[in-house]
Amino acid sequence: MKTHVDTSTVVMRILAISLPLLMVLTAATGISCRPDEPEPEPEFDIAIEGFAYEPAEITISVGATLTWLNRDLDVHTVTAQDGTFDSGNLARGDTFSYTFEEPGTFEYYCIPHPYMTGRVIVG
């Protein structure tokens, strides 16, 4: 009776099992190493950029909602002159939204940089 198994046969079997496994692991690692896609910017109506509101003046209908997005590295605010709304501190990438339920002209500014001003005309 012959029970001898050739060594080369064993090696071949190990390779046959481990090679596909290695390829799967490599592929999985490749996926996890893929660079992260940049986060999409939130939707906004008015950008705060370069120490200015863009656009500085906007006209909307009663009941419309405006969203500001701070694109600067510095902290800014969206603060109504008459105190109607105040965003508080907005860091880079933060947004502030406000719904204008009353017609009128609303002047606003940035508390840390009072020379930054904007106007919302609600008609």
How many residues line the site for Cu ion (CB under 5 A)?
A: 5
53 or 100: CB nearest Cu ion: 53
Pick one of 76, 90, 106, 109: the residue that binds Cu ion (CB under 5 A). Answer: 76
Q: In the Cβ-directed half-sphere of 116, how many Cα atoms lie within 13 Å?
A: 23
Rg for the chain (alpha carbons), in Å?
30
Mention every residue, 6+ apart, whose C-beta is less than 8 A from residue 120.
57, 58, 59, 60, 66, 100, 105, 106, 108
- CA–CA dist 122, 101 (Å, integer): 9
CB of 105 to Cu ion, least distance (A): 21
Q: Least distance from C-beta 84 to Cu ion, angstroms?
A: 18
Work out whether 46 is an interface residue with Cu ion (CB under 5 A): no
For the bound state, the minimum distance from the C-beta of residue 94 to Cu ion, rounded and expressed in Å, comes to: 12
Minimum distance of Cu ion from residue 118's CB (angstroms)? 11
Rank residues 76 and 98 by Cβ distance to Cu ion and give the closer one. Answer: 76
Beta bridge partners of 9: none
* Binding residues for Cu ion restricted to 90-119, rule: CB under 5 A: 110, 112-113, 116
First-to-last alpha carbon distance for the chain, in angstroms, is 100
Footprint of Cu ion on this chain (CB under 5 A)? 76, 110, 112-113, 116
